[in-house]
Amino acid sequence: MRREAGSPASRRESLAFLARFGVLLVLFYVAIALRPVDAAVVVPFTAAIARVSGAVLNALGEPAAVAGTEIRSPAFAVQIENGCNGLETVLLFGAAVLAFPAPWKRRLAGLVLGFAAIELVNLLRVVSLFWIGVHRPALFSASHTVLWQSLVVLFGVLLFLSWAARARPAGLPAERRP
């Protein structure tokens, strides 16, 4: 038995999703804001992004040195900060996936694949922004704050919508979903 869109049961299910999503999002953001988590997880993760980005830039012929979370060349330097490491979009996506009424196996697969996809897009973001900073510095600020921030978040939202459309088994009543 499927629930009709707009029915009271459908509205309750939607509100329950939004409540779970909101709680998870707050918990995730509080967790990464804690100093011990930032020092032990976020900063090393961000430094890893810088190292991978530097390796990609060097492989593409763009000389870049990496120190911690900074990527530097003779012409340009950029520090990868929180908000530029893709974690905010990963947390947004992760909260939505975990809150969604789908089997746990599909949620876990969605988390793993979504994390990888979002970080791949973020890698493209960091590499392209560094290239823009070196070769078209006048475009860096707009590319960083307007274009890429919007694209990464939009990608995360579209990725969730695509995953959610496939995650819930067709025809399975809401009461029987694990």
Instruction: Report helix angle 104-135 to 43-59, nearest 10.
Output: 60
Mean pLDDT by 10 residues, the chain (178 residues): 63 92 96 95 97 98 97 96 93 97 95 98 97 96 93 97 86 48
Q: What pLDDT, on the 0 to 100 scale, is given for residue 1?
A: 42
Q: Report helix, strand or coil for 70.
A: strand
pTM for the whole structure: 0.88
Q: How long is the chain?
A: 178
Q: What are phi and psi of 67, to 5 degrees?
A: -135, 110
Q: What pLDDT, on the 0 to 100 scale, is given for residue 3?
A: 55
Q: What pLDDT, on the 0 to 100 scale, is given for residue 7?
A: 72
End-to-end CA distance of the chain: 16
Q: Which residues neighbour 37 within 8 Å (Cβ) at sequence distance 6 or greater?
A: 31
